[in-house]
């Protein structure tokens, strides 16, 4: 009964969505406040209805109701409760319901916290959100109903994909969807502004917090997904340039550009057209990622096995929203004012350069991802575009970004002094070069490019610290006064510095682990010793174990350094009994920022085991840097100016200017 109600409330949500899609738009055109108020009430109601439907599906998984086809295909009575609950979105139908839930959640947030928005803008934004919600409601109800029943109730389920039976599934998809779907708000703001023909600094001030929130969650989702693949798949890699990995990375790149562009527009009312275009592009790339994952056009460890009809439906959604938005942009953009002027050497100029490089980088990843698909469709020829292409093209494009990033905050708005900025940064440059050479020497040399890459990472870190140093006027004022100035800086200043530091830390991790990691593949028998990263690993043998829904062979290794035992580690090969699918559970030991990674391979005829051992120096910097970026995003979101900076509808036309710290 609960499942039928869950299905029925989705139909009700569709009806509410159709109302919210139309009446507020009419109200905005007629300036009818009663019709416009329907948007807020309807958005909250849609969230409640979809939330109930999601709760109904979660209940079916929790009680192992195998009469529901979706539960039978993706669950098992012996699975731990955590994996039963996370299994709700470990499949196509459930993940689409989660996508929809987050979409209407953001709509409800705009309805609840958009009291300072102009009534017409708010009504149009929520109406556009409802258009998207209606499209995905139709997709779920017509092609991906998670509540379908089975005529005969099986005694047991088919189990969840073993790779997904991990704590990472509880974190990675929700965070990723919060990022993906969060950009829908920016898209809706852009379309609503184009409908009204009004885009100004206030619009950018309203858009920026939503952009920042979506970017932060997407950063967290990509980072968690990378670490999950690293420890769960047993392949020892953290990024594969998989098409679906790229599909999440492209909105992140475009969202980063949008974040910086919105800042320029807010401060200087410049880059209006560019900002609106980026808002449309970012969510369009999110929709493209949805199509790639669920259309069946590519093979990926991330892709859901779906029938072509679903892909055609999503392609239709893609065409309508992306095509419609770009058509509206082409119609309205010529009538928009260009905004403020600025010199090439200025903070605006630095941000424009940053945006151009990020946009070109996004296009590069897009071409590398879609070209094999397009070529196969047109000619039938199959090719693969792998890591060498992306590493070369994307890596070269990122070099100017790494160089320019510390200069941006040092330049003045409108017209800056490049020489003056460099004079402020020469100490940071010297320290970065020294630190880079020192670490390069400690890691026993290597390619010169590695030394430059390490120095670039430190350059970003010390550049961000230098920005805070000069904002607080350390060196010119007494230490106590400067420290009080530092504490009084806007939180967005600390957020920006942390984000740039995080990028530098991630660059350090990428360069060092790529250059200096070692891989050893050998056959090991009981008592065999292998060397990696200055440690010796002794294979102590295999033990058989039985889990709730799997069996496993566990290999035990004793780790010694200079003959002294320092740790031990287990690595295993699991076989999930329901699906008869094997998985590899890697053994990982952490030493500071570095890791020793052990993965069991196949057994040999003579009783030995193939073992893969990696030494990965400074690899934790890759994900540690993303933690800094996330912290920077959340700290910036807590800035009071982002929460109350937008003018209210009842604000007086003339208001005394408040002094504001430099940003």
Report d(CA 168, CA 215) in Å as an integer: 20
Specify the pLDDT at position 654.
44
Specify the 3-state DSSP secondary structure of 542.
Answer: strand
Q: Are residues 64 and 84 in contact, defined by beta-carbon separation less than 8 angstroms?
A: yes
Report d(CA 390, CA 590) in Å as an integer: 29
List, edge to edge, every strand of the sheet that includes 594-603: 518-524, 609-616, 594-603, 587-591
Instruction: Using pLDDT thresholds of 50, 70 and 90, give the confidence band for residue 306.
Output: low
Cβ-based neighbours of 614, under 8 Å, separated by 6 or more: 236, 517, 518, 519, 520, 532, 596, 597, 599
Q: Label residues 338-365 b or e (16+ Cβ within 10 Å = b).
A: ebbebeebbbbbbbbbbbebbbebbebb
Helices (H), 295-417: 308-318, 324-332, 347-379, 387-404
Specify the pLDDT at position 19.
97
Asked if the model's pLDDT at residue 299 lies above 60, the reply is no
Locate 496 and state its tokens: 């920006």
Specify the pLDDT at position 235.
84
Report d(CA 165, CA 439) in Å as an integer: 39
pLDDT digits (tens, 9 = 90+) for 569-613: 999 999 998 888 888 899 999 999 999 999 998 888 888 899 999
Specify the pLDDT at position 661.
38
pLDDT digits (tens, 9 = 90+) for 489-516: 999 999 999 999 999 999 999 999 999 9
**Which class for 153: exposed (0-12), middle (13-18), buried (19 or more C-beta within 10 A)?**
exposed
Specify the 3-state DSSP secondary structure of 546.
Answer: strand
Report d(CA 193, CA 623) in Å as an integer: 37
C-alpha distances out from residue 308 to 27, 91, 204, 246, Å = 39, 16, 39, 22
Of all residues in the chain, what percent carry a pLDDT higher than 70? 94
Cβ-based neighbours of 611, under 8 Å, separated by 6 or more: 521, 522, 523, 524, 530, 539, 555, 571, 598, 599, 600, 601
**Any idea which residue has 């932060």 for tokens?**
216
Q: How many CA atoms lie within 13 A of 71 on its CB side?
A: 26
Q: Are residues 167 and 82 in contact, defined by beta-carbon separation less than 8 angstroms?
A: yes
Instruction: Using pLDDT thresholds of 50, 70 and 90, give the confidence band for residue 652.
Output: very low
Report d(CA 150, CA 554) in Å as an integer: 38
User: Strand runs (DSSP E) across 239-313, as ranges?
Assistant: none
Neighbours of 55 (CB within 10 A): 15
Report d(CA 403, CA 458) in Å as an integer: 11
Instruction: Using pLDDT thresholds of 50, 70 and 90, give the confidence band for residue 649.
Output: very low
Q: Are residues 504 and 458 in contact, defined by beta-carbon separation less than 8 angstroms?
A: yes
Q: How many CA atoms lie within 13 A of 276 on its CB side?
A: 30
Sign, CA torsion 610/614/620/623: negative
C-alpha distances out from residue 647 to 153, 198, 263, 651, Å = 58, 15, 17, 6
Of 634, 523, 650, whose CA–CA distance to 213 is shortest?
634
Locate 376 and state its tokens: 């196969």
Q: Where are the domains of the chain?
A: 1-149+159-165, 166-412, 417-511, 518-616
Q: How many CA atoms lie within 13 A of 346 on its CB side?
A: 15
Specify the pLDDT at position 650.
45
Report d(CA 70, CA 150) in Å as an integer: 9
C-alpha distances out from residue 652 to 202, 203, 205, 655, Å = 15, 18, 18, 7
Asked if the model's pLDDT at residue 622 lies above 50, the reply is yes
Locate 462 and state its tokens: 């010390």
Of 519, 595, 602, 590, whose CA–CA distance to 553 is shortest?
602
Asked if the model's pLDDT at residue 639 lies above 90, the reply is no
The DSSP symbol for 234 reads S
Of 286, 307, 287, whose CA–CA distance to 295 is shortest?
307
Q: What is the CA radius of gyration of the chain?
A: 27
Report d(CA 156, CA 551) in Å as an integer: 18
Specify the pLDDT at position 657.
40
Q: What is the mean pLDDT of the chain?
A: 89
Element (H or E) spanning 584, and its range?
Answer: strand 581-585
Instruction: Using pLDDT thresholds of 50, 70 and 90, give the confidence band for residue 332.
Output: confident
Report d(CA 157, CA 577) in Å as an integer: 12
Locate 261 and state its tokens: 């562009």
Q: What is the mean pLDDT of the segment spanning 132-136? A: 96
**Which class for 419: exposed (0-12), middle (13-18), buried (19 or more C-beta within 10 A)?**
exposed
Sign, CA torsion 80/84/85/86: positive
pLDDT digits (tens, 9 = 90+) for 428-486: 999 999 999 998 888 887 888 899 999 999 999 999 999 999 999 998 889 899 999 99
Neighbours of 531 (CB within 10 A): 12
For residue 6, the cross-strand partners are none
The DSSP symbol for 408 reads G
Asked if the model's pLDDT at residue 648 lies above 60, the reply is no
Q: Is the pTM of this model over 0.85?
A: yes
Q: What is the mean pLDDT of the segment spanning 39-45? A: 96
Instruction: Using pLDDT thresholds of 50, 70 and 90, give the confidence band for residue 414.
Output: confident
Write the secondary structure of 325-350 as one string of H (helix), E (strand) and C (coil).
HHHHHHHHHHHCCCECCCCCCCHHHH
Q: How many CA atoms lie within 13 A of 123 on its CB side?
A: 23
Report d(CA 68, CA 74) in Å as an integer: 10
C-alpha distances out from residue 138 to 15, 133, 141, 272, Å = 11, 9, 5, 34
Q: Are residues 495 and 636 in contact, defined by beta-carbon separation less than 8 angstroms?
A: yes
What's phi and psi for 585, nearest 5 deg? -105, 105
| Lowest mean pLDDT, pick from 31-40, 410-419, 642-651 | 642-651
Report d(CA 80, CA 200) in Å as an integer: 52
Instruction: Using pLDDT thresholds of 50, 70 and 90, give the confidence band for residue 233.
Output: confident
Instruction: Using pLDDT thresholds of 50, 70 and 90, give the confidence band for residue 59.
Output: very high
């Amino acid at each position: 009964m609960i499942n039928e109600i869950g299905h029925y409330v989705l139909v009700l949500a569709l009806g509410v969505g159709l109302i919210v899609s139309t009446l507020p738009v009419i109200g905005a055109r007629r300036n009818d406040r009663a019709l416009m108020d329907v948007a807020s009430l309807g958005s909250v109601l849609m969230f409640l209805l979809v939330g109930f439907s999601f709760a109904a599906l979660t209940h079916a998984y929790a009680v192992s109701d195998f009469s529901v086809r979706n539960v039978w295909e993706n669950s098992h009575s012996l699975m731990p409760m955590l994996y039963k609950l996370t299994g709700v979105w470990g499949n196509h139908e459930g993940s689409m319901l989660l996508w929809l839930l987050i979409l209407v959640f953001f709509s409800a947030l705009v309805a609840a916290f958009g009291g300072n928005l102009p009534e017409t803008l708010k009504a149009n934004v929520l109406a556009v959100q409802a258009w998207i919600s209606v499209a995905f409601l139709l997709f779920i109800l017509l092609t991906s109903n998670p509540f379908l029943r089975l005529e005969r109730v099986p005694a047991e389920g088919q189990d969840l994909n073993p790779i997904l039976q991990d704590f990472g599934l509880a974190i990675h998809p929700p965070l990723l969807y919060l990022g993906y779907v969060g950009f829908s708000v920016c898209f809706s703001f852009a379309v609503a502004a184009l409908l009204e023909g009004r885009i100004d600094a206030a619009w950018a001030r309203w858009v920026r917090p939503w952009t920042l929130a979506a970017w932060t969650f997407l950063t967290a989702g990509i980072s968690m997904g990378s670490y999950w693949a690293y420890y769960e798949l047993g392949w020892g890699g953290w990024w594969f340039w998989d098409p679906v990995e790229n599909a999440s990375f492209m909105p992140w790149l475009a969202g980063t550009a949008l974040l910086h562009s919105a800042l320029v527009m807010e401060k200087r009312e410049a880059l209006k057209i560019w900002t609106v275009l980026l808002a449309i592009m970012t969510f369009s790339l999110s929709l493209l990622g949805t199509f790639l994952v669920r259309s069946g056009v590519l093979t990926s460890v991330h892709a859901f096995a779906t029938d072509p009809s679903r892909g055609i439906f999503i392609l239709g959604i893609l065409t309508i929203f992306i095509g419609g938005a770009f058509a509206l942009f082409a119609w309205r953009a010529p009538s928009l004012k260009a905004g403020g002027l600025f010199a090439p050497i200025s903070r605006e100029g630095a941000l424009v350069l940053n945006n151009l490089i990020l946009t070109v980088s996004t296009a590069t990843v897009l071409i590398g991802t879609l070209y094999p698909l397009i070529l196969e469709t047109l000619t039938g020829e199959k090719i693969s575009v792998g890591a060498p292409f992306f590493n070369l093209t994307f890596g070269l494009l990122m070099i100017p970004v790494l160089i320019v990033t510390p200069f941006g905050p040092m330049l003045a708005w409108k017209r800056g002094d490049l020489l003056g900025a460099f004079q402020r940064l020469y100490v940071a440059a010297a320290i970065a070069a020294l630190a880079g050479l020192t670490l390069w020497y400690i890691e026993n040399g290597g390619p010169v490019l590695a030394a430059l890459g390490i120095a670039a990472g430190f350059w970003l870190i010390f550049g961000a610290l230098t920005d805070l140093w000069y904002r607080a006027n350390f060196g010119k004022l007494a230490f106590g006064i400067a420290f009080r100035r530092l504490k009084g800086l806007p939180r967005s200043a600390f957020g920006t510095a942390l984000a740039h530091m995080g990028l530098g830390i991630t660059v350090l991790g990428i360069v060092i682990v790529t250059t200096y990691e070692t891989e050893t593949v050998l056959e090991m028998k009981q008592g065999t010793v292998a060397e990696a990263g200055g440690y010796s690993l002794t294979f102590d043998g295999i033990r058989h174990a039985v889990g709730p829904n799997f069996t496993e062979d566990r290999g035990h290794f004793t780790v010694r350094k200079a003959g002294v035992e320092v740790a031990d580690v287990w690595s295993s090969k699991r076989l999930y009994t329901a699906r008869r699918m094997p998985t590899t559970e890697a053994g990982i030991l952490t030493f500071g920022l570095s890791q020793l990674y052990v993965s069991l391979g196949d057994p040999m005829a003579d009783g030995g085991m193939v073992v893969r051992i990696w030494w990965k120096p400074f690899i934790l910097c890759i994900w540690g840097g993303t933690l800094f970026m996330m912290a920077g995003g959340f700290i910036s979101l807590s800035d009071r100016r982002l929460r109350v900076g937008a003018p209210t509808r009842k604000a007086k036309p003339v208001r005394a200017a408040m002094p504001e710290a430099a940003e």
